[in-house]
Amino acid sequence: MLSTYERWVSFFDFAFQPTHAAAPDIPVSDILRNLKNLVDAGNAVRLYNQGTRAVRISEMTYKVGDSEAILLIQLCDKNGSDPVFGELTTGQLRVEPKLAGEGIAVSSHVMISTSIVQHTADHFKTLVETVPGISKSILQPFLNAMLREAFTGQEFKNPATKAMCQLKPKLEIFSHGSQTLLDTLKGAKLHNVKLVSTRKQGGMDKTAYTELAERSVRYKIIKQPPLADKKRLLEILRKKGQQSGFSKVSISYSKDGRQASLDLDRNEDAATKLFTKSEKIILGSGINQCESTIHQELETKMKGLL
């Protein structure tokens, strides 16, 4: 569950390219300006799941020349469970039902740098506030839908065919890989390591009605190894899984009060693979599960990280 006084933010690269191979490059300033015009017009919203879920950009701050843009993404889900409150001493519960037309709402701040990431042509460093329900798999298709709307009616002349073609950008989101596994696990508590195989098995693993989809072996960590030994332990278990036909290593851990897991392919080196960097932000003023406007303290601290 989300804390009132802290938030995690993850580091990504937002890569913008024209959808048409012959199109000229679209400056990020044009992309962000058009997107803000869509938000200001109140049209940055999309409905999903037969109209029971809405995702919208409820606020955006940007003007040409700014070093970053910030978007407040809001998700509202009519099918989300009603919130339940518990009395700490007695355990008595109180359910707060949704009213007609309402849904459970969460919001996420997204901050996009307007400076190109070094050694890339079209990547822009981006921070995303981590909240349940608003993930990369939600953000990428939603923002691409908004970009299509924002560039409706814009065209360019194809230099090869001389025909007029649609000009619009598309977005791909990549992890900003800046932490190794050992960096990630520094100060963390390991809970378990699971070897997983998703290869289909025959023989006793298969019946007329079933087929094995996953086979796993889980190792519970009963004593916390020092950081130097974590690398050796994970390498031993990865090699054990490799020799036994397992295809993946899943590592469960907790750090700074947050539980998470990381996956390694059996052929990947735990010492060199990079993972999405995450940082915790401590807030002096409280922040709601869903904010109606950009939270000023969170915005300031995200700028410091960007």
- CA–CA gap between residue 247 and residue 229 (Å, rounded): 23
What's residue 119's pLDDT? 81
- CA–CA gap between residue 100 and residue 149 (Å, rounded): 29
pTM greater than 0.85 (yes/no): no
What's residue 15's pLDDT? 93
| pLDDT at 291 exceeding the cut of 70 | yes
- CA–CA gap between residue 233 and residue 117 (Å, rounded): 35
| pLDDT at 79 exceeding the cut of 80 | yes
pLDDT 10s digits, 255-290: 877 777 777 776 666 555 666 788 889 999 899 999
Q: How many CA atoms lie within 13 A of 188 on its CB side?
A: 23
